[in-house]
Structure 1
Amino acid sequence: MKRFLLSLLTIVLPLVSFAQEAQELGMDQKIDRAFGNATGWFVEFIFYQIPFTDEISIYWVLFPLILGAMYFTVYFNFINFRGFFTSINIVRGKHDHVEGHENHFVEVSDAVHKNAEGDNPDTIRVEGHEGEVSHFQALTAALSATVGLGNIAGVAIAVSIGGAGATFWMIIAGFLGMASKFVECTLGVKYRDIAADGTVYGGPMYYLTKGLKEKGMGGLGKVLAALFAIFVIGGSFGGGNMFQVNQAFQLVENITGGDQSFLHDRGWMFGIVMAVLVGIVIIGGIKKIAKVTDKIVPFMVVIYVAASLFVLIAKYDLIGDAFGQIWDGAFSPTGIAGGAVGVLIQGFRRAAFSNEAGIGSSSIAHSAVKTKYAASEGMVALLEPFIDTVVVCTMTALVLIITGSLTGTGPANDAEAILMTSGAFESVISWFPYVLTIAVVLFAFSTMISWSYYGFQGWAYLFGRSKKMEYAYKFLFCVFVVIGAAASLGSVIGFSDAMIFAMMVPNMIGLVLLAPKVKEELKKYMTAIKKK
């Protein structure tokens, strides 16, 4: 660990000096412009908006996400509703007995042929190794990557542009996204690899290659898996890293005095602290990450929801009117976007950007779970969009509506949106901006450590599983933490965000083609529950 920290500082300090010089010389703007010119075509393609009216344009990436979620909802007979309480019981451990053995060991052969139950043994586990984390830890690790700035800033932007009615469509999108999460996380477990030392390698890279090979489309699977791996690495460095630390620093700087703050123009200091903390956690792999997230995520979600409930109780007489605004606004909108379609799109867009259902990222964390039944983790995963979007996002929207914060033209960016949400809480709880700042930093931290795991899985798929490759990726990830806090490279972050949503393309193709496999796994698991 000491050697790692010394190596980190050896690289980081020269980068800090360079970042400071770049800011003084305006070099970061030059780099940003050059990078934007080189990658702008990709960003424009991924975030291309299809014009419907003079005022309304829709991101094309929303169509496969929304239509796919609707398809899975119907195909699995509304599993997002029928399976809700079963999912809660799985997290509680009520159905652990169906695993068959106390340690859940499964006999493994070196053969590539399937066993009697229809599973390929080497995709379940190595004998003596049952996965790495519990159902609850897998859920919190995945939640830590989604619950965060999108729930605080994204919601403020959505309801500012689309009005209160956008909240209704966020909730609908959250419920639909539960079905997509169920499918991708079931596949993540079914087709995962487990190394001899018990380390789990899973996610879309593996179910695209193995699953599509079973269907006679091995070549397509390899291409889609490689594309996904490239996209997830890029997304991990930017949207899952640089953007998070950059936004967290802006809020910390603002709360400590803005331009007069000691931290003003010293983002590198904040970045180094975060890089060291992130490095300490991610060196330990998914087990260490899960041990951190299963404490941070529940604590911060409870704090945030409790504060929201306090605001709602303090202004209980306005709750009825708030829900009235949400309902009326969903179908008779008054928001800036104008038109029911515009409000619907704002709600769906922010929900999709927040819970990442259909993107494929969460299946990487869920694949590390200890279980014999792939569908059991799919059931757990469907709780994720419910917590992230239906609960947390709705709470944020209600606070903004009830406190009368939806005035003016709304926030121009995520940093202003966070301050807008902070101001809404402050109007009722004077000291809450300080708590929210801590929450944002912790949410950013937990998002970063989870996305480091996602990116590493893509890295390992492309470059191998050696320790050298592992530490090379984690080292680079920590360096990008400092860069993200010290520089303002908007085009770099925009490109990485585009890569996150580009992950949806290969992933959704695989989900649709492999949905019948998921149905088989669900039937197998539900039969096991009923037998016991």
Structure 2
Amino acid sequence: MPPGIMSSPVSAILEAPIPAPLSLDQAIDKFFSPIATAISDAVFWAIPLPGGNEFPLILAWLLAAGVFFTIYLGFQQLRPASIRHSSHVVRGHFSRHTDPGDVTSFQALATELSGTVGLGNIAGVAIAIATGGPGASFWIAVAGLVGMSVKMSEATLGVKFRVVNEDGTTSGGPMYYLRDGLASIDKPKLGRVLATLFAVCTAFGVIGAGNMFQSNQAAYQLAMFAGGKDSWIGTHMWVVGLVFAILVGVVIVGGASKIGAATSKIVPFMGILYVIMCLAVIGANITEVGDAFKAIWSGAFTGHGIAGGVLGVLIVGVQRAAFSNAAGVGTAGIAHSAVKTRRPAQEGFVAMWEPFIDSVVICTMTAITIIITGVYKDHDADGVQMTAHALKTVAPWFSSLLTLAVVLFAFSTMLSYSFYGKKAVGFLFGNSATAERIYNGIFLLLLVVGAATNMASILALADAMLFLMAVPNVIGMYFLARVVAREIKGHRERVDAGVIPQVPEDAQAGMIVANEATPEQLETADEEYALRAAAMDARSEELDLGHTAPDTERDYLDHLPEDHELFNTMDRDGKPLKD
């Protein structure tokens, strides 16, 4: 063949090597990459700030909500009386076993904590300190404190606008309080749009952040523990995903009650285990604790990290807190809507503890452990490795316990997020049991896929969708702020005045496991509640309490028969009958 032909464009194309076919995960990644990049860039669009810093707008949105509700609700989360009351509510002292709902207040608290306490506390804090210096942990705690009021509001609205189904189960969360809550203040169209947007973002967001990412990270940690990527687990990570899928499937088949029962056991165990390890390190370096707190305090206002001054430290801290406690994302409204209670505000006082435990207690424990051992100065270590190095300074086998903690954190997160996703799908498809079962099947399948693949674009898209949930949720919460304030402040007034007493011990809902009511008790529960509520209402009027509490809306009258003696003096709306 003549040399000229060999060098022609046509021959070059014909003799060029044929590209290797893309693997399935590469093909999926290639398809979703431009979509994920566009949505992620929009959600995490950053505001340029002095000193070369940038502050993602979504984080400013969440922080502003925390500051607003903290002030608007009168700093409820910091009041001693509110803290005392919440401790009684979480132990089930104010809820009856005949109240509508599936789980106890403590189980709902554990479910929501299981979705937030995890890698963000172990790896995220370490990364924040390595980037922003010790002062970053101060701003993580501050963001957690203001986030308490947001969780309080979410849970209160979640219970107030939940739907009690015919089988006694409940459906609630931002989907419902956006739709029904905004409809109650004459904004039905806006409510439907925001509710649908939230449900779609939730259904997709939990698949990545609470499913594939958790499975992938747990499998990776087990592989590292077993000898690295070349170990048997490292080359068969899909097996880890399959085991998770089986375990998660066994639990979620039982619904909210089984998930609540599981998380109420796993969360305290893993939380206590992790705190004990941190305390052991702190105890072994007790003389350094004072200096650690000084470094945190001075670093918060001087900025000695690589993030760039005080503003950089603040941004790093707030960002870690937002990723860790998820205040404003709306999941607390879903978790607490399943609680056995008739008073929405009660759950608000329980939910407020979630950012405190997550961002103030556990994150601070991690921070002190890392600071006093000095491992944060090693910028080559990743977040989990940094925490592991700190723990190993006391006992080498602590790294094994840390692996166990990471796996348990991941497992409990899978359980809680499967519940959130199922409820979102149920809302979109009219509480269709078939749709929810299909979603559960997809959720379990993707646990295996997530452990075995590295589909970065899907995870980026899911992360963006998860934080996008905060946009419709917080918009709706601003519109419903007066409703929240009336519920919270009215409830506090009635408790302080003794109008709302603790439930007799034999009738309490319980704490770890919900006490079961007999069919006879359930049959008369609504009428008994109505009579108690009427008596409380009358007592409230005698005391001339200033805020309108839930029971004074007279909705409890719906539970009474038409011929009840109360209707000799009032109508169904609670208005006195004319002579």
Q: Which TM class, normalised by the smaller chain length?
A: 0.7 to 0.9
The 3-state SS of whatever aligns with 2:55 is strand
Measure, in 2, the Cα distance between the counterparts of 1:264 and 1:138: 35
Tell me the C-alpha RMSD between the 2 structures.
1.5
Question: Please, which of 512, 521, 529 is the counterpart of residue 478 of structure 2?
Answer: 512
> Matched residue pairs, number?
477
8 Å contact kept, 1:138–1:365: yes
2:111 — aligned with what? 141
Measure, in 2, the Cα distance between the counterparts of 1:464 and 1:485: 32
2:289 — aligned with what? 319
Aligned ranges 1:131-280 → 2 under 5 Å: 131-280=101-250
Aligned ranges 1:49-64 → 2 under 5 Å: 49-53=46-50, 55-64=52-61
1:103 Cα deviation (Å)?
Answer: 4.4
1:481 maps to a residue whose letter is L
Aligned ranges 1:387-406 → 2 under 5 Å: 387-406=357-376
Measure, in 2, the Cα distance between the counterparts of 1:196 and 1:29: 46
Answer yes or no: is 1:295 the counterpart of 2:265.
Answer: yes
1:4 — aligned with what? none
8 Å contact kept, 1:161–1:336: yes
Aligned ranges 1:430-509 → 2 under 5 Å: 430-509=396-475
Measure, in 1, the Cα distance between the counterparts of 2:219 and 2:162: 36
TM-score w.r.t. the length of structure 1 is 0.88
The 3-state SS of whatever aligns with 1:264 is helix
2:545 — aligned with what? none
1:355 maps to a residue whose letter is N
8 Å contact kept, 2:281–2:393: no
Measure, in 2, the Cα distance between the counterparts of 1:240 and 1:344: 27
Answer yes or no: is 1:347 the counterpart of 2:307.
Answer: no
2:275 — aligned with what? 305
1:24 Cα deviation (Å)?
Answer: 9.9
Answer yes or no: is 1:47 the counterpart of 2:17.
Answer: no
8 Å contact kept, 1:65–1:358: yes
Measure, in 1, the Cα distance between the counterparts of 2:446 and 2:24: 17
Aligned residues with identical type, % of pairs: 47
2:196 maps to a residue whose letter is A
The 3-state SS of whatever aligns with 1:406 is helix
1:370 maps to a residue whose letter is K
The 3-state SS of whatever aligns with 1:61 is helix
Measure, in 2, the Cα distance between the counterparts of 1:25 and 1:216: 53
Measure, in 1, the Cα distance between the counterparts of 2:380 and 2:313: 15
1:146 Cα deviation (Å)?
Answer: 0.6
The 3-state SS of whatever aligns with 2:167 is coil
Measure, in 2, the Cα distance between the counterparts of 1:103 and 1:37: 51
1:116 — aligned with what? none
Measure, in 1, the Cα distance between the counterparts of 2:109 and 2:423: 18
1:104 Cα deviation (Å)?
Answer: 4.5
1:333 — aligned with what? 303
Question: Please, which of 490, 493, 506 is the counterpart of residue 524 of structure 1?
Answer: 490
Q: Deviations over 1:63-108 (max 9, x none)?
A: 11111100111111101101223212211234x2xx5xx5455xxx
TM-score w.r.t. the length of structure 2 is 0.81
Q: Which runs of 5+ in 2 are unaligned?
A: 1-19, 502-579
Measure, in 1, the Cα distance between the counterparts of 2:204 and 2:164: 25
Moved more, 44-53 or 176-185: 44-53
8 Å contact kept, 1:84–1:383: no
1:37 Cα deviation (Å)?
Answer: 1.4
Measure, in 1, the Cα distance between the counterparts of 2:398 and 2:147: 31
Answer yes or no: is 1:371 the counterpart of 2:341.
Answer: yes
Measure, in 2, the Cα distance between the counterparts of 1:422 and 1:41: 36
Larger Rg: 2
Moved more, 24-33 or 182-191: 24-33
Question: Please, which of 23, 26, 31 is the counterpart of residue 28 of structure 2?
Answer: 31
Measure, in 1, the Cα distance between the counterparts of 2:473 and 2:37: 23
2:70 maps to a residue whose letter is T
8 Å contact kept, 1:163–1:334: yes
8 Å contact kept, 2:376–2:386: no
